[in-house]
Amino acid sequence: MVGSDVELSCVHATEENFDLNNLYVYWQISVSGTPKTVTYLSENSTVGHHNNQYKDRAQMSLDRMKRGDFSLRLYNVTPQDEQKFNCLVIRNLEKIVNIEVTLHVAANYSMPVVSVPSATPQDEELTFTCTSKDGYPEPKVYWINKTDNSLLDEALQNSTVSLNPRGLYDVVSVLKIRRVPNMNVGCCIENVLLHQNLTVSSQTALAGETNASITGNSNHTPKGPGDILENTGTGVTVLIVLGVTAAVVVIVLLWRRSRWSRWNYAAGAQASRPELELTDHV
């Protein structure tokens, strides 16, 4: 994996005791068909590097080499390290070890991001864009019809893969497809080396379709909680208005009745009061 450490194995099959003063050990790569030494061990047990790309990144253990283990430890693996390495051990001008090791490098792609088009009901073609970054090696890209999990025609898509400054791959894939209601497509990024498949689906409710079904008919009957709540709110408002009106009428009637009772009482009292007769007394 990119950024990790790896050990390239190179072990003598039979012997387990070596005098390093009699050995030459080389780890080499091929550059344009010419062998280039990554690191080496000379006859005076000195370890060195001929390639600055691997300076401070490639290491052999002197103790392990004395036991016949000439493996190479490679630190902070990069995509440029993907190649063939050759382990060569020479004693008394004779090759006693000659092993080729192929290093495969991989990096996980980021989770794909699918952009959902903003479309009107009149649009006959939709454009989806899928992006994923920082993977290795170059990916395979698929678009899937999530309704039946079938692969969409490659002629409908256009994918662009490019190397970024880190030496990793970025991918952008564009899908153009005829519009259908409730479309649900998926973008799949496959890393073959890692047996990795990253799939993201995007179910699109096209702009205008939902609103058209709700607002197209002003005399629609309630079909959902929103409609029921709206109608219930209107009924409650009417009941409140009627209740307030009835309360006002009752208060007015009680007030008028109270005044009428006081007036009758005053009239009755005056009618029953005896009149005094004025009599002349001699």
Convert the pLDDT of each residue in 46-100 to its tens digit: 677 667 788 889 999 999 999 999 999 999 999 999 999 999 999 988 999 999 9
Structure token pair of residue 215 = 């607002």
Binned at pLDDT 50, 70 and 90, residue 106 comes out as very high
Binned at pLDDT 50, 70 and 90, residue 103 comes out as very high
Binned at pLDDT 50, 70 and 90, residue 203 comes out as low
Give the C-alpha separation, 95 to 23, whole Å: 10
Mean pLDDT (whole number) for 228-248 = 44
Mean pLDDT (whole number) for 209-224 = 33
pLDDT on residue 54: 87
| pLDDT tens string 252-273 | 556 555 554 444 444 444 444 4
Give the C-alpha separation, 169 to 162, whole Å: 6
Binned at pLDDT 50, 70 and 90, residue 139 comes out as very high
What is the number of other CB atoms lying within 10 angstroms of the CB of residue 112? 22
The pTM for the full model equals 0.65
Q: Is 33 helix (H, G, I), strand (E, B) or coil?
A: coil
For 159, counting Cβ atoms within 10 Å of its Cβ (0-12 exposed, 13-18 middle, 19+ buried), the class is middle
Beta strands in the chain (DSSP E): 6-8, 23-31, 34-41, 47-48, 58-59, 72-74, 84-91, 94-102, 113-115, 125-135, 140-145, 150-151, 157-163, 169-178, 183-191, 196-204
Q: Among 29-43, 47-61, 90-104, 211-225, which is the least confidently predicted range?
A: 211-225
Q: Among 141-155, 186-200, 249-263, which is the least confidently predicted range?
A: 249-263
Binned at pLDDT 50, 70 and 90, residue 227 comes out as very low
Mean pLDDT (whole number) for 153-180 = 94
Give the C-alpha separation, 14 to 11, whole Å: 9
